[in-house]
Amino acid sequence: TPWMGWETMEPFAADPAHGFFVVAHSSNPGAPDFQEIPTPRGPLWLAIVGEVRRLATANGNAGAVVGATYSEAIRLARATLGNGVPILVPGIGAQGGQLATTVREGVDGHGRALLVSASRSILYASSGPDWKKAAAVETERLKVQINQLRTGLGKR
């Protein structure tokens, strides 16, 4: 989280052998309460994304967290971050984020740099003794769907 200041992230940023993600715009309904506060560089969350780009450019190891429930935020984050800087996206499934929109707005110009987080749909795929198999099936289903959605998007 950027709340402690950028110097708290510098140890992570300084080690290009390890990647890290900075929360910019979360997927919960109250996210705009503070994340949309205006700054001279746009809403606070977008100023954070600009700093993530700076850190990513320096060492190639930073990414931004942007919730899937705010597709416009994903689009603006990708436009700000450019190619190669990853976006980690929570909020698909139970929170209501749309996978197709997330992939379309979030992949970079190469059809990459998007990490979709799906927790509850995998974790709770079954409450029975087949939970491991159900989780594996759900994971594979999401992987196939994401890759189908990515097809052709890197050529924009």
Tell me which of 103 and 119 has the higher pLDDT. 103
Quote the mean pLDDT of the chain: 91
- 119 band by pLDDT with thresholds 50, 70 and 90: confident
Average pLDDT for residues 101-115, to the nearest whole number? 94
- 93 band by pLDDT with thresholds 50, 70 and 90: confident
Tell me which of 94 and 131 has the higher pLDDT. 131
Question: What are the helix and strand counts (H, E) for the chain?
Answer: 7, 6
Query: In the prediction, which pLDDT does 3 show?
Result: 87
Ranges assigned E (strand) in 96-148: 114-116
Q: Is the pLDDT of residue 155 over 60?
A: no
Task: List CB contacts of 26: < 8 A, sequence separation 6 or more.
Answer: 35, 65, 67, 90
Query: In the prediction, which pLDDT does 120 show?
Result: 87
- 156 band by pLDDT with thresholds 50, 70 and 90: very low
pLDDT (tens digit per residue) in 7-39: 888 888 888 899 999 999 998 889 899 999 999
Q: What is the dihedral of CA 12, 64, 152, 144, to 10 degrees?
A: 80
Query: b/e string for 49-70 if b means 16 or more Cβ within 10 A?
Result: bbbbbebbeebebbbbbbbbbb
Query: In the prediction, which pLDDT does 52 show?
Result: 95
